[in-house]
Amino acid sequence: MLIAARTSSNAASHPPRPREGRLQGHNRGRAQTNDIREAPRPPLGHAKPIRTCPALALCEPSAACEAREQQALAVFVRAAGLEHGEVARVMAKAPGNKLETAKLYVVLADAVNGKVTTPRAERFRVVMGALRDGRIHVQTAELRGSRAEYNHTTNTVRVPADGIALTCEADRVALVHEAEHVAQDIHKASQSRYASEGEGHEAAADYLLHLAGALTEDGVITRIDVNRASEAIGALQARGYEGVDVVAATHLCFRLARLAAARGEDVDESEVQQIFSAESFAKAYLSAQEAMGRGGLALEAVMTKSGL
C-alpha cells in the first residue's frame, strides 16, 4: 500500500494567469477538465448572462458570472460526477462568495477524482465536507503576489477580486495549495509556518504531475511514468512555476519511483537516480533561491524535509 508523502502549501507567487484557449491534457474520453474551451466574454450591456450551470441561479447579481466561467463550472461539475443540486446546496450554505465557493468545491471534486494521490484525496474530501457544511468562507479580495490565501484564524480562503478562472491551470493549482492548508487546519496539524508551506507546495506538485500524466492512481497505489515525470518537471520550469514547486515535484517523483522499484515494478533505479539526482535537486534549489532571494524559507523547509 502506498503511503503518499504529506503535502505542502501555496506560495506567494504563481505564474501569471494565461487566458488559455485550451488547456493541454493527456486524458481523453469523457468530459475532461483539461479540455475547457474559453467562451467569449458577453458584450457590454449584456444584462443576464446565460447560465449553463443551474446552480448559478444562486449567484448574487453583482457576481462575475461570465459565460466563460459558467461554461467552465458546468464542465467541472460534469467531469467530477457531481449533481448540479449538490453544487447548489454548497452555494446555498456558503457564508462568503457563493460562486467562488462553488469553484473551490468543484476543483477539489475534480482533484479527488484521480488527480492527486489517494491519501491527499481523502484529506480533500474532508475539506469538501467542511465546504458543504458552510464552515469555510471564500471571499474575494485585493491580493498582492498570490492567486489565493488562507487565513486559519477566520477559516477564510481569499481569492483575487476578479475571481478564480477555472480555465487557468495556475489558478486551480493555487486553490489546491490552499486546500492543503485548510486540511492542515481541520486536522489541527502542529507544524511551523514553513513546514506548512512545504506541504502546500507538494500538494500543488502532486496535482500538476497528475495533470501531466506523470502520476496515475491505481487503487491505493500511485503509478509513476519516470520519463513523463522528467518531462513534466522540465515543463514546470519552462512555464514559470516557482522553484519550490519544481523541487517539491522532483522530490515527490523520487520517492514514488523508489517505492515503485521496491514493489518490483519495471522501474530502473539507476535511471531514477540519474533523473532525480542530488544534482537535479541542487539545480532546482539554486534556481529557486535566485528567483526568491531571501524569501526562500518555504523552499528551505521542502529541502530539509527531503533530507537535502
> According to the model, what pLDDT value does residue 4 have?
34
Cα 118 vs. chain centroid, distance in angstroms?
15
The verdict on 212 and 136 lying in the same domain is: no
Is 127 in contact with 136 (CB distance < 8 Å)? yes
- Residue 15 located in a structural domain: no
Region 81-106: mean pLDDT is 94
Q: Could you tell me which of 172, 176, 170, 225 has the C-alpha nearest to residue 199?
A: 176
174 and 204 share one domain: no
Cell of 276: 532525480
The single-letter DSSP state of residue 160 is E
C-alpha angle 33/38/39, rounded to 5°? Answer: 125
Q: Which of 186, 208, 242 is the last residue of a domain?
A: 186
Q: How far is CA 180 from CA 8, 164, 251, 278, in A?
A: 7, 17, 18, 27
Asked whether residue 54 falls in the same domain as residue 100, the answer is yes
**For residues 237 and 246, is the Cβ–Cβ distance under 8 A?**
yes
In a domain, 12, yes or no: no
Higher per-residue confidence, 48 vs 213: 213
Write out the three cell numbers for 225.
Answer: 511514468
Q: Extract the runs of DSSP E, i.e. beta strands, from 155-304.
A: 156-160, 215-218, 221-224
Please tell me whether residues 154 and 102 are part of one structural domain. yes
* Domain presence at residue 3: no
- At 166, which amino acid appears? L
> Which string of DSSP letters, residue by residue, matches 214-246?
SEEEETTEEEE-HHHHHHHHHHHHHTT--HHHH
Q: Quick one: 37 and 182 in the same domain? A: yes
pTM score: 0.74
Quote the domain boundaries for residue 212: 193-305
The answer to whether residue 22 sits within a structural domain is no
pLDDT in tens, 122-161: 999 999 999 999 999 999 999 987 889 999 899 999 999 9
- 25-48 pLDDT, tens per residue? 333 333 454 443 333 333 333 333
Which band of pLDDT confidence, cut at 50, 70 and 90, is reported for residue 196? confident
Of 63 and 23, the structure prediction assigns the larger pLDDT to: 63
Which residue, 150, 167, 186, sits at the end of a domain? Answer: 186
In terms of domains, do 173 and 199 share one? no
